């Protein structure tokens, strides 16, 4: 989940990375979403930050967090979680 605030929008620079990974691993295993923290109370702790935050869930549980746009770390985290 790409967590963002309304004033800055979702992180567009990682969309290509996500598409590439989804094509490589298959669409059944990997799903991407965006969530605006300003409208979701459960994500309140991520408000007021100017860096992108990526949350990784498996089985409905938060399993990893990556702060900032670090393509190699995002790719590594995604592949490890799969």
Tens of pLDDT, residue by residue over 35-76, are 888 889 998 888 887 778 899 998 889 999 999 888 899 999
Residue of 5 and 72 predicted with greater confidence: 72
R_g of the chain, CA atoms, integer Å: 12
Q: Any idea where the domains of the chain sit in the sequence? A: 2-81
Residue-by-residue DSSP string for the chain: -EEE-TTT-S-GGGHHHHHHHHHHH-TTT----EEEGGG-GGGGGGTT--S-EEEEEETTEEEEEEES--HHHHHHHHHHH-
**pLDDT attached to residue 69:** 85
Strand runs labelled E in the chain: 2-4, 34-36, 53-58, 61-67
pTM, full prediction: 0.81
């Amino acid at each position: 989940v790409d967590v963002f605030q309304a004033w800055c929008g979702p992180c567009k620079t990682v969309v290509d990375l996500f598409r590439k990974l989804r094509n490589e691993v298959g669409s059944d295993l990997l799903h991407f979403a965006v969530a605006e923290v300003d409208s979701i109370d459960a994500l309140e702790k991520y408000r007021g930050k100017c860096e992108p935050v990526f949350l990784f869930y498996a089985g409905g549980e938060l399993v990893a967090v990556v702060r900032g746009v670090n393509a190699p770390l995002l790719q590594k985290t995604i592949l490890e979680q799969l």
